[in-house]
Structures are given as C-alpha cells and as structure tokens.
Amino acid sequence: MLAEGYGYEFAFASPESGLKAFKLQLEAHPPDRVVIGGGVVSNPQMRFFMEQIIDVVRTSAPRSKILLIGRPDEVPAAVARWFPRM
C-alpha cells in the first residue's frame, strides 16, 4: 500500500479476543477505510464475526468505507474503487 501512495495501520481481532481493542483504535484514529480480509469474508463460519466488525466500524468510525477482500493482493483495487486517483 505504501508503494501505491496510501498509509495504513493494521488492526487484528478474532472472535476469541473480541473487538474492544479494535473499537478503541477506530475511535482514537478514525480511518478513511477499513479492509476486512478473506479469512473473515470467505469463511461462512465467520459470518457473525464479520457482522460484528461491520457494526463496530459503523458505530465507532461512521465515515469509514468498509472494503471486503478475498486476498491481500486485492487491497489496492478495493481502495481505488472508493478512493480513485485524480
């Protein structure tokens, strides 16, 4: 992403660790976008967790765009869909 001219921060969460730290990170530094990766998006067993992530983003950083990807190499295209270069 840096090579594409975008900054980023990682935030990791799991159903076991919960979303409290993620929520605090969003509130402290609201991002322009949140990327939810394929480990969650592509796994039907993670559907409820994905809904929880979306709900936390919606309430804690309501201006953030939510991008869903299947593989890490899809991030630049997903970002470009919402933030095209002028």
Dump pLDDT digits (tens) for 2-60: 777 777 888 889 999 999 999 999 999 999 999 999 999 999 999 999 999 999 999 99
Using a cut of 0.75, tell me whether the model's pTM lies above it: yes
How far is it, in rounded angstroms, from Cα 47 to Cα 32? 23
Residue type, 70: G
- Identify which has the larger pLDDT, 68 or 85: 68
Contact status, residue 46 vs residue 11, Cβ threshold 8 Å = no
What pLDDT score does 85 carry?
A: 72
What pLDDT score does 82 carry?
A: 87
Burial label, 26 (beta-carbon count in 10 A; 0-12, 13-18, 19+)? buried
